[in-house]
Amino acid sequence: MNLFADLRAAVVHSLANLAEAGAIPAGLDTAGVSVEPPRDPAHGDMMTNAAMVLAKPAGLPPRTIADALCGELRKDPRVLSAEVAGPGFINLRLVAAVWQGVVQAILTEGLDFGRSCLGNGAKVNVEFVSANPTGPMHVGHVRGAVVGDALARLLAFSGWQVTREYYVNDGGAQVDVLARSAYERYREAHGLEPEIREGLYPGDYLVPVGEALKAKYGDSLLDKGEQYWMNDIREFASAMMMAEIRGDLALLGVQMDVFSSEKALYGTGKIEAAIEKLRGMDLIYEGTLEPPKGKEPEDWEPRVQTLFRSTAHGDDVDRPVKKSDGSWTYFAPDIAYHFDKVERGFDQLIDIFGADHGGYVKRMKAAVSALSSGRVPLDIKLIQLVKLYKGGAPFKMSKRAGTFVTLRDVVEQAGAGVTRFMMLTRKNDVALDFDFDKVLEQSKDNPVFYVQYAHARVNSVLRKAGEAGMIFTDSDLAKADLSQLSHEAELKLAHQLGEWPRLIEIASKSNEPHRIAFYLYELASDFHSLWNQGNTDSSLRFIQEGNVATSAAKIALARAAGVVIATGLGILGVEPVQEMR
């Protein structure tokens, strides 16, 4: 159930009644009509802007519409009062039974409360991580991985058909570098001094690759030129790196559905086909680009290249798909890759990129727009940097200094759940501070702890009730006499619970999983508040000794909060804890 959607339907229905009665013109567009909680709770439980939105198209003063609409809405048994306020807002107060119904719905629907068919089964592809297969994942990749995975879970919860995809950049020069670096480790495995020249990857994570190469090839590749081993070692090393990356992802709890290889696009005609399709739309031409003004490269020289007319689809300049020597740029296989996604029938594409790829957004959108004839929207989320801190002091990450912080380091120190939650406590386009000490702190300035603590408290209530001989299943609780939940503080928590389906809807539409983390913090806060009021007012305690009926109602509320927290944490990929230790 979704209270807001239900009430919006009631408002639209009332408007139809008014139109039938001739009070307002028929056939008005009600798309702009919203039902929301007012910012100020003093204004009531719900607010609708219907009268103001419709005033102009109806040619009537907003108050006239509002007065008539109030009359209709008062007929609804859920509505306690309906009043016009300000320029034409309609404030509704709802009977307590509505909020009690929210609690009941949660206990009945369980972890499915808030699930919807908003996405209508549309196929969405979420591409994320896509780290080069040249080493283990480092902390910079973690945030993108978490955001992508949480977004995937969120969309699946809201009725999208989600595919999680990793684009393996195994086709460019960086895997050649990997192969050369691995070759040196292969020599090292034979007791020779490795020559880690400038530009090679120095990390000792390649030592095992060298060992494995020795095990496979013996000494047959020693003292051979690159042409003898490049292809084999490139393949071998990148496969090993991908295995490592999959392991890293598993540590975080991320499971990809599809791994797509860049290399696999070469030699199959797929790149050529994508470019030809663009050429058929007159979007490919031979030309020369102007140098960027104000920052002209020193070695600039005009070159004739094959260009994509991305300006025809909103980009600022046209982009090269071929280098001046005739080979493909990185952009070309990426076009082919996105074309492939379009061809696979996705209705919607989402890419999660690092913020340093910001300059890539417009051309990619242009390509998808052209290749899908505008049918498939591409949303690109740029993930800002994570700044590491340790005890309040910045923690510099540097490959050279050996302080290379890997995903494994982070997860082993902080735990997957804590890491995931913390990575979602900021909007994706804002930089995030990650303090190794703070994330493990057990206090309320650590949001993960605070939310988990609320969940543990709910569990504690159930446990204590059981010890007192009151053992309730969720379906028992759903049948409890919830009319006993009438105290303001209890209804406030129920209000917040009723927000959940709406929050999910908003987060899904905007592709913003961080909203869930903030919601959970607020929900936990409301729960802790109610809990503490039980200290001063014993009638607000969840367990009412000797009164099974009242206890059942109050425990139902607590349990409902626990269910929503567990659901929310589940979407973030965080395991709810049963007790704090």
Partner RNA sequence: GCACCCAUAGCUCAGCUGGAUAGAGCGUUGCCCUCCGAAGGCAAAGGUCGCACGUUCGAAUCGUGCUGGGUGCACCA
524-553 residues near RNA, rule: CB under 7 A: 525, 528-529, 531-536, 538, 540-543
Would you say 132 or 348 has its CB closer to RNA?
A: 132
Please, what is the minimum distance in Å from the beta carbon of residue 314 to RNA? 9
- Structure tokens of 88? 């034409």
Phi, psi of 87 (to 5 degrees): -75, -5
Would you say 194 or 428 has its CB closer to RNA?
A: 428
Specify the amino acid at residue 94.
Answer: L
Q: Which of residues 390-419 bind RNA (CB under 7 A)?
A: none
Specify the amino acid at residue 323.
Answer: K
Specify the amino acid at residue 127.
Answer: E
Please, what is the minimum distance in Å from the beta carbon of residue 180 to RNA? 14
| The binder of RNA chosen from 232, 235, 433, 575 (CB under 7 A) | 433
Please, what is the minimum distance in Å from the beta carbon of residue 442 to RNA? 4
Would you say 78 or 357 has its CB closer to RNA?
A: 357
Binding of RNA by 510 (CB under 7 A): yes
Segment holding 237, helix H or strand E: helix 226-252
Q: Which of residues 309-368 bind RNA (CB under 7 A)?
A: 316, 320, 323-325, 329-331, 355-362
Segment holding 168, helix H or strand E: strand 161-168
Give how far Cα 461 sits from Cα of 75, 352, 378, Å. 40, 41, 46
Q: Which of residues 260-319 bind RNA (CB under 7 A)?
A: 262, 289, 291-295, 297, 299-301, 303, 305, 316
Please, what is the minimum distance in Å from the beta carbon of residue 432 to RNA? 7
Would you say 220 or 536 has its CB closer to RNA?
A: 536
Give how far Cα 200 sits from Cα of 197, 293, 298, Å. 6, 33, 25
| The binder of RNA chosen from 14, 49, 125, 261 (CB under 7 A) | 49
Please, what is the minimum distance in Å from the beta carbon of residue 28 to RNA? 14
- Closest alpha carbon to 437 in 449, 453, 428: 449
- Structure tokens of 47? 């607010």
Give how far Cα 431 sits from Cα of 57, 143, 370, Å. 44, 11, 32
Q: Which of residues 17-46 bind RNA (CB under 7 A)?
A: 34, 36-40, 42-44
DSSP designation for 511: T
Instruction: List the end-to-end C-alpha distance of the chain, in Å, as a whole number.
Output: 36
**Helices 407-414 and 226-252, axial angle in degrees (round to 10):** 20
Give how far Cα 239 sits from Cα of 170, 232, 262, 313, 418, Å. 9, 11, 13, 37, 30
Q: Which of residues 451-480 bind RNA (CB under 7 A)?
A: 453, 456-457, 460-461, 464
Residues in contact with 342: Cβ distance below 8 Å, sequence separation at least 6, in sequence order: 349, 368, 371, 372, 375, 376
Q: CA 577, CA 581: separation in Å to the nearest integer?
A: 10
Would you say 47 or 137 has its CB closer to RNA?
A: 47
Alpha helices, DSSP H only, in 190-225? 207-217
| The binder of RNA chosen from 431, 471, 481, 483 (CB under 7 A) | 431
Site string for RNA, 115-154 (x = CB under 7 A): -----------------x----------------------
Site string for RNA, 216-245 (x = CB under 7 A): ------------------------------
Please, what is the minimum distance in Å from the beta carbon of residue 48 to RNA? 8
Q: Which of residues 59-118 bind RNA (CB under 7 A)?
A: 85-89, 91
| The binder of RNA chosen from 445, 469, 488, 546 (CB under 7 A) | 445
Please identify, among the stretches 116-124, 139-147, 164-172, 278-286, the one whose residues bind RNA according to the rule CB under 7 A: 164-172
Please, what is the minimum distance in Å from the beta carbon of residue 193 to RNA? 28
Would you say 345 or 359 has its CB closer to RNA?
A: 359
- Closest alpha carbon to 252 in 359, 119, 150, 110: 150
- Structure tokens of 437? 């000490």
| DSSP characters over 435-462 | ETTGGG--STTSHHHHHHHHHHHHHHHH
- Structure tokens of 184? 């040196």
Please, what is the minimum distance in Å from the beta carbon of residue 121 to RNA? 20
Would you say 207 or 385 has its CB closer to RNA?
A: 385
| Site residue total, RNA (CB under 7 A) | 104
